[in-house]
Amino acid sequence: MIIYSHIENLLTYAKAHLFLDELDVVYVRNRLLTDLKLTGYTEYEVDCDAIEEMTNPDAVLTPIVEYAVAEGVIKEDAREAFATHVMDAVSIRPSEVADIFSGLHGRSPQKAFDWLYDYAVKNDYVKQSRIAKNKHWDAKGTKGKLEVTINLSKPEKNNADIAAAKKTKEERYPACDICVENEGYCGHGMCRQNLRTIPLTLGGEEWFWQFSPYSYFNQHGIAVNLSHTPMKVNGDTVRKLLDFVDFAPAYFIGCNAALPIIGGSILTHDHFQGGMKQLPMHKAPILTKLKCAEYPYVDTGIVDWYNSVVRLCGANKELMIEYASKIIAAWETYTDESIGILAKTSEQHNGVTPVARKLDDKYVMDLIFRNNRTSEEFPDGIYHAHPEYHHIKREAIGLIEAMGLFILPGRLDGHLKEIEKYLTKEVKYSKPALPDEMKIYAPMIEKLTKEAPKCSAIEAQLNIKDEINRICEGILDNTAVFKKDEAGTASFLKFLDGIGIR
């Protein structure tokens, strides 16, 4: 039977890429035979050279999943769960992964993370083939050299979903989608059987690191508190972030503000997000140099960026923690009604997104000031993407987008192709005749057709991208609590002056 050759290919792949020990091959083979309801076996020769060159398991895994569906072993909707089960069977145990990582980290932190990421790709936890489907471009014409991705691999959560999840009291196991108990678990629509994590100690607490299955950039992952405890941002958070960049000096790490609209997609569990990537905001220069008499050896400045950011840079870790903590605490209570900033009404509105990295022997901490207040005019958030931009992005603007890497919803892929047809005149534009799902794009289509009455397919694609780039800049401007006008600048300096930063 051909299925036996597919099993042998997978076992050979696991020996080549997943550290499957020769002594465990018979045991793992028998597990797979049981899963596939097979009672016999015939060994086949395999192309070892071809398998050695594989960068992910698609070619050896897919035929086994297809067989399971065709033979009624699993139902059609169980493909992903079965695939993760199979890859878990041929992967080494979590403790073995942690031991190998620890041994490598003692010699080179980056080699350890490189190995762990490669393992996550090779055992199919990081979905390399799905990630490759995402559309990505550099918005070079923008002031901040933004980057844009159309997400075709993972569904995005909206603000209402996130806020509702924070309030839910439902008891379940695991308590949420990022708890450590997800390692090896399959349930609630989550397939985590092939997940492997490594332990961390941050701020004296037990945490762990795992990579994201749908990476938005190189080695994108999350650091997660071992305890299921709500998100928070304070001085302890700053210490943990700096502890992490000591542990992974090539990475940046950041924490979303712990509030709906301006926070991450999971507010019920304390976690950070980072990876090996220099995001556009990291490259932004200092616009205004500042000094604080209390911390003379920490460089301070307002970053030349769309939203409101203060950057601290210093070699003394304890002073950096103390200084950043003071700024965070001050912002949480800062109100300036003259420009619409209210720290708190019946609930907290001001929050900070802190982002840490290392440059040589110095710590760099960017503090992004956020506010989640809503109004009748802006029910989704005053400092959120405004309604005129919702056709492109309505979802939460978390730390990755606040730093200039936009993750746009997958619906755009097909919709932008339809807009292109109107611009090239392949389809005649008529607002009343627009399909329902395209009506939100009417102002965009009319704007682009007015600017370029007729254009080629290439020109249409470029014009659409330019418009999206402009919109992304506009969204980041919306998120700025201190606008770039005279009143906003004065209020920003007033806030900083109030804590001795001039």
pLDDT in tens, 425-447: 999 999 999 999 999 999 999 99
Q: Are 13 and 76 found together in one domain?
A: yes
Q: Is residue 282 part of a domain?
A: yes
- Domain C-terminal end among 67, 91, 115: 91
Q: Are 85 and 198 found together in one domain?
A: no
Predicted pLDDT at 328: 98
Q: Output DSSP code: residue 292.
A: B
- Domain C-terminal end among 41, 73, 91: 91
Q: Is residue 268 part of a domain?
A: yes
pLDDT (tens digit, 9 = 90+) per residue, 212-271? 999 999 999 999 999 999 999 999 999 999 999 999 999 999 999 999 999 878 999 999
Question: With 50 as the cut, is the pLDDT of residue 162 above it?
Answer: no
Computed over every residue of the chain, the mean pLDDT equals 95
Total number of domains in the chain: 2
Q: Is residue 429 part of a domain?
A: no
Q: Are 36 and 161 found together in one domain?
A: no
For 418, the token pair is 């339809």
Q: Average pLDDT in the 392-412 region?
A: 96
Q: Are 262 and 330 found together in one domain?
A: yes
Predicted pLDDT at 189: 85
pLDDT (tens digit, 9 = 90+) per residue, 207-228? 999 999 999 999 999 999 999 9
Three-class DSSP category at 208: strand
Provide the CATH number for the domain around residue 372.
Answer: 3.30.428
Q: Are 6 and 143 found together in one domain?
A: no
Q: Are 275 and 329 found together in one domain?
A: yes
H or E element that contains 15: helix 2-17
Q: Is residue 183 part of a domain?
A: yes
Predicted pLDDT at 167: 53
Q: Is residue 489 part of a domain?
A: yes
Q: Are 372 and 305 found together in one domain?
A: yes
pTM for the whole structure: 0.94
- Domain C-terminal end among 72, 91, 110: 91
Q: Is residue 447 part of a domain?
A: no
Q: Is residue 452 part of a domain?
A: no
Share of the chain above pLDDT 90, in %: 94
Q: Are 81 and 189 found together in one domain?
A: no
Predicted pLDDT at 264: 78
Whole-angstrom CA distances from 433 to 426, 439, 444 are 15, 9, 16
- Closest by CA position to 233, among listed 262, 212, 209, 210: 262
Q: Average pLDDT in the 119-137 region?
A: 96
Q: Average pLDDT in the 93-118 region?
A: 98
Q: Is residue 99 part of a domain?
A: no
Predicted pLDDT at 168: 52
H or E element that contains 191: strand 190-191
Q: Which domain holds residue 292?
A: 132-407+485-497
Per-residue confidence at 202, pLDDT binned at 50, 70, 90?
very high
Q: Which residues of 379-409 are buried (b: 16+ CB within 10 A; e: fewer)?
A: ebbbbbbbeebebbbbbbbbbbbbbbbbbbb
Question: With 90 as the cut, is the pLDDT of residue 89 above it?
Answer: yes
| Spatial contact of 338 and 491, defined as CB atoms under 8 Å apart | yes
